[in-house]
Structures are given as C-alpha cells and as structure tokens.
Amino acid sequence: MTSLFEVVLDPEFRVVDLTEVEHVVKILGAIKVKSVTEVRDKWLDVTPCRASYYEKEASVAGSDWEKGAIDASGAFKAGISAANIEQLFKGGIKRAGAAKYERKVKDV
C-alpha cells in the first residue's frame, strides 16, 4: 500500500489514486476532513485568482519587511549571541533593502 505522500497528481491536478487517500481518511476517524475532490476543486477554483492578490500586496511590502526585520534585530542577536551580530544583521537587511525584497516577490 502506498502512503498518502505517494499519491500522485497528474498535470491537471486530478488525484490518480483516491483509494489510498480515502484509506488514510478512514484511519483518522474522528477528524472531519473534506474529500480530496472538494479540496482539489476548491484549489483549482481559487488558486489562479490568488496570484494577482499576492503579487499586488507582496510586491509592495518591501518597506514593511525591511522595517520589521530591522526592528527584530535585537531579538535575533539575543537568539544567537554572537559578537556584533546586530550590526551585521542590520547591514544585511540594508544591503538587501526593500527593492530586492519586492523584486524577489515578483521573480521567484
């Protein structure tokens, strides 16, 4: 028997082996889980529309990311306790900057 993680999806995102997924769902018992078909259909329906929202919002969030990352530099230093790490962290954020963050959102 194959595991849930071995269930293969074809290029059109149709589940190839539903019996294996249904078997795992039966084992879970009390946990209410949507059917694979419902999950697939929702994914196919809503995911293509989300790309434009992600690009619109995330591609202009570089300044928020930069400020938040710099504000977190003290916690980062406390977490790793290395000499001069706070300045190194801030320097890395400044070198990358908001523009790189926004470019990577679009390109990656």
Q: pLDDT at position 22, please?
A: 65
Encode pLDDT of 2-61 as tens digits: 444 444 444 455 555 666 666 666 665 555 678 888 988 998 898 888 888 888 888 889
Across residues 61-71, what is the average pLDDT?
Answer: 92
81 SS3 class: coil
Bridge partner residues of 15 (DSSP):
9
Cα torsion 18, 23, 27, 32 to 10°: value is 30
In this structure, which amino acid lies at residue 57? E
Tell me how far apart the alpha carbons of residues 64 and 86 are, in angstroms, rounded to a whole number: 19
Note the pTM of the prediction, 2 decimals. Answer: 0.38
